Every structure is written in C-alpha cells, then in structure tokens.
Structure 1
Amino acid sequence: MSAQSQIRRKTVRDIAAAKGGEPLVCLTAYDAPSATVMDPFCDVLLVGDSVGMVVHGLPSTVGVTMEMMILHGQAVMRGSERAFVVVDMPFGSYETNADQAFLNAARLMKETGCQAVKIESGAYAAGQIAHLVERGVPVMGHVGLRPQAINVVGGFKAQGRDNEERERVMAEAKAAADAGAFAIVIEGVAEDLADEITKAVSVPTIGIGASANCDGQILVTQDMLGLFDWTPKFVRRYGDMRGEMAKSVEAYAADVRSRAFPAEAETYKLTKATPKRLSRVAGRKSRG
C-alpha cells in the first residue's frame, strides 16, 4: 500500500467528537495551492462564500453563485488530502424550501467531493437542515452575524447586543443543533453569548468574532495573513502578505526595467544539434 493511500481525510464524526476537547483549527480556502499549504495544520477547510469578496472583489457575499462555489470547492479538494472540507451554500440556493436545499446541496457534494455543506441558519433553516441530514448531507450551521442577510440588518453588524437579539441567536443555534447540524459557526456576537451557546448545544461551536471558549476557531485566511489594509476587530494578523507581495512585485518591476531579469539562470539555450533538427521538422510540415 502506498503512503498516499494511507492518508485518511477527517470525517464528520471526527469533527463532532471535538466537542469539549482540543479546539478545532479552521480556515477558509478557495484554491488548490493555498489548500495544500493549510491542509497539514487544519481540521476544517471552509470554502466560504466570502470568496466573492476576498477573491472576486464583490461588495458582499450576496452575488456569489453555485457555479463559483463548485469551482472553488473543486480546487480546494484537489489541493487537500486530510482536512474536512465544507462548502458554503450561496444566497438563494436553500432558503425557498427543503427540496431546493437538497438538490443544490447534492449538486455541491457530487461536483466537488466535499464532506459537508454550510448554511446560514435563520429561523427558517431547521427544516432544511433536518431534510438534508435525513438524506445524507452533513450540515454545518451558522448563527449570529450572517453575511448573506446584511441587506436586512443594515450591514456587517455584531449581533446579540440586546435581549431580543440574544434570544433569537440562541434559539437559532439550538434549532440548528436539534435539526441535526454536526457543528455551528458563531460569528460576530458578544463573548458571553457565544459561551452560553457553546454550553447549550451538544455539537461543536466554531467561533469567528465570538469566544475563545468555543470548540474551534475560524478566520478568513487572507485576513489572517494580512492581505488587506483593513481587517475586522476580531482578526489577529499572523503575517503581512500585502507587504510581502508589494515588495516582491516592486523588486520584479525594477529588474525588468533594468533588464536584470531574465538573467542567465532564467534563460534557455539551444544546443548545437537543435537548429538542424528543428529545420528538418519544419521541412516535413511544409511539404504537407
């Protein structure tokens, strides 16, 4: 048996079993090279609909399509081999009814090979989650700040700041867990509310702008690596990708303009025999 065939990708049971244990390490991924780098360190790679903003420059996630999620999901699956891969269901792909949700979730899983889908768990979501789980689709929930709903809430605003909001977010989390979600992302809520949700549900919670006491943490990778000049309050920068890219591009531009690139090491040289061989090939082609 080859070393390659011995690698086991994490399963939904592995993720669910993390409740109360060592925190799950989760990051977003949108392409194969990045997935390859992150795969050895992450328990979960989320192909988030944040790809619309992070990669495609959209103002929100609302414009993301199924085709975009499938394309990026396929790339991440090719680049990873051990992490559990979850793909976001984009806005408009699951809200209408349970059958719509299943058909689109099944398409995502078939065409990407991912292990699960994620849906933003509004009040309507419990029925869709139960419908999907009963039909073999593992579902990750998402409560608190729900980016797909920014047009309703008026922007990317933290949730759960008053009693009514807190009760709603808690109810949505419990409903998602009771419906069969194997894990729940908690985004943009007060620390104590995230702690309450983590204690109240039997499945792992994954925080983003929530609490260190969640069962795992996730960040948008480009935010964490410092690709943008602004990042949300809850992001800790672990790199300066923007600065490093700028320095590299500046150095490249200078070398091109001074003709220092390409140099001897980056230039191909023809051997003595090659010109004659190429001439014979060209002659055969010209004779039809």
Structure 2
Amino acid sequence: EELETLAAGLGDAVLSAQTVKVMGTHAMMAGRSAQGLKLLGAAGRELAVLGEEELAALAAMDECHGLTASGDFPAARAAGERLLERVGEGEGYIRGSALAVIGCCLMFDGHDFGAAGERLREALRLRYALRDQFSFGIAVDMLAIHASRSGRWVRAASLCGVGQSIWRRFSAPLAGIAVIIAQRDRAAARARAELGEERYRAAFAHGASLSLEDAVRLADSDADTVVPRPPRADLAALSAREQEVASLIAEGLTNRQIAERLVISKRTADAHVEHILAKLGLSSRIEVGP
C-alpha cells in the first residue's frame, strides 16, 4: 500500500501497474485467489497498454500460476497457451513457466498424458538451462506426479528423491502451491504403497544421491533410474574457442544463437558443440554445466 501511494505521488504509471501485480501475487499466495486473479489481470492489461510487454507477460505468467493454484485447470491451460504464443522461442523463463502450467493442466485434467510429459520435460530443460534450481525443483516434482499417475512407481519414487535433494535448499517447496504439494505427497504415498517400504526407500535414495547433471538425465528421460556418470573430463581439455562455446551453451543459447554471437557459421558452431560433448563425455548439450 505504501508503494502504491508512492507510485501515485510520482505519477509513475508503470510503477503503479507493477505494484498492482505484486499485490495480486501476494493475494494469491495468501489464498485469496479471486482477488489475486483480478489484480493480476488488471496489472497485465495496464502494462500492455503502457507498452511494457515483458512486464505484462510476467503478470500473465503469475496469472497462469494463480489459475493453476486455484484448481481451474481449463482456464489455466488456455492462459498458458496464450502466453506461449506471446513470448518468443528464445525466451526461457516465462516460456518454461507456460509449458509447466500446460503440462500440469493436461495431467490433472486427465487429457493426454503423453503430451503432458513432453511439456513438463521441455519446461525442465528450459529451467535447467537457466540454472534456476527453484523452478527446476518444481518441474522435477511435477514429473514425479506424472510418473505416479502413469503407474511408474520406481520412477516416481526416484524423482521424489531428486526433489527432496533440491528442496533442502529452500524453505517453501513447490512455491507454496497447496494443490500441487498435495498431489506430490499423494504421488509419493501411492508409490510407497505399491512398491513397499524397502523398494520405495531404495528408489528414493537413488534419486536423492544423484548429482544435478544425473538428476537432469533421469528427469528428462523415460527411465526409472540412471547409472551415475563418472566425473567428466576437465574443461582444460577444451580449446579456448570450445570453452567460449561451452559457456554460451551453459547460458542456454541454441547453436544458431551461438553462431550469431561469435560471428561464425552455424555449421562451425555445430561442430564445436559436437567436439565439446565428445571431449567431456556427455550425450546432450543440456548436461554442459556452468
């Protein structure tokens, strides 16, 4: 409220709209869904009118999360699809959130489980590329729920273990979204009941023990478990140019974007990426760490 008064006094329309967005997000997290959604919608419309498209998209992203948290999955999915159309292919943060919302809604509404898994894994890849472990943890737990609903009990238990190892770093697992926390806990309980305590604990411990890169390989695959990779070759094995390319891969750039950044052909960028993966003993560019 103080910020709202300050923004009004300054005559700053953008700050006023952002204040409404913050108030909407706070209302959602406090359980006042109707009020929160109304404020977020108003903030997004005002920011769009002011030409602040990125800020408007962020408000729309929070609105997607709010609709998901309220359990209105058809509306949340529609909002997520609109948000996907709104942001470009090169954008990772908002796009990852939209994909996660769509995957979540497809899963909870019992529509296409295959498509739900694809959307959730795509969201996971984008979030890992951004090195956003908080959002990555949400994606992992969503995939654990997906595995349980698909009857993949070992995979569900393994992913629950991965999730716990990530959430130890934070105080609010799953961003405090009660409906999803309940689904995740239900998934874990069902996997424990189906596997028995001993097998569940073994799978859970397997997931919890994985390095972040191995956790990505598990979550981004259709496997129940993964064999941990041995320590990879040191970056010193790479040439100066390959180290430069590796740093851009870690930023989440595509091969074409790397070529444009370094003013080289895409074919040359492709070759550099292949050499980097071979030298480091990796199978996918997503495994290239920071």
* TM norm structure 2: 0.27
Q: Which structure has greater strand proportion?
A: 1
Structure possessing the higher relative contact order (Cα contacts under 8 Å, 6 or more residues apart) = 1
Structure ID, larger Rg: 1
Q: Which structure has greater helix proportion?
A: 2
* TM norm structure 1: 0.27
